[in-house]
Amino acid sequence: MPKDVPRCAVLLDETIADLRPTDKQNGFQHEITQQLMAMGGRYETGDGVMRDLVQAAAWYRRASTLGDADGVLAQATLARNSGQPPEREI
């Protein structure tokens, strides 16, 4: 993942907007969800960005919305560890 996190975020958002049903079949969607999870991890730990648990949850939510079970687990774990319920929308 590029170190330019804001630019990477824009590119991921654009890619998600362009996903087609066939992308799920050819495994492309899996690659996208892995990048979404990586972005969540960066915000959760402060790797290259200011630590921001709300942003971390938002990136995990994007992955879970695309059907990634790890995104759901990451959201739940983040909520449990922070003592706050998961955010619905940011």
Q: How far apart are CA 33 and CA 14, in angstroms?
A: 13
pLDDT of residue 31: 85
- How many alpha carbons fall within 13 Å on the CB side of residue 27? 0
Q: What is the pLDDT of residues 60-89, one digit of tens each?
A: 998 998 888 999 999 989 888 877 655 554
pLDDT of residue 87: 56
Percentage of residues of the chain with pLDDT beyond 90: 29
Would the pLDDT of 9 be above 60? Answer: yes
List all residues 6 or more positions away from 2 whose beta carbon is below 8 Å from its beta carbon: 8
What is the token pair recorded at 86?
């998961």
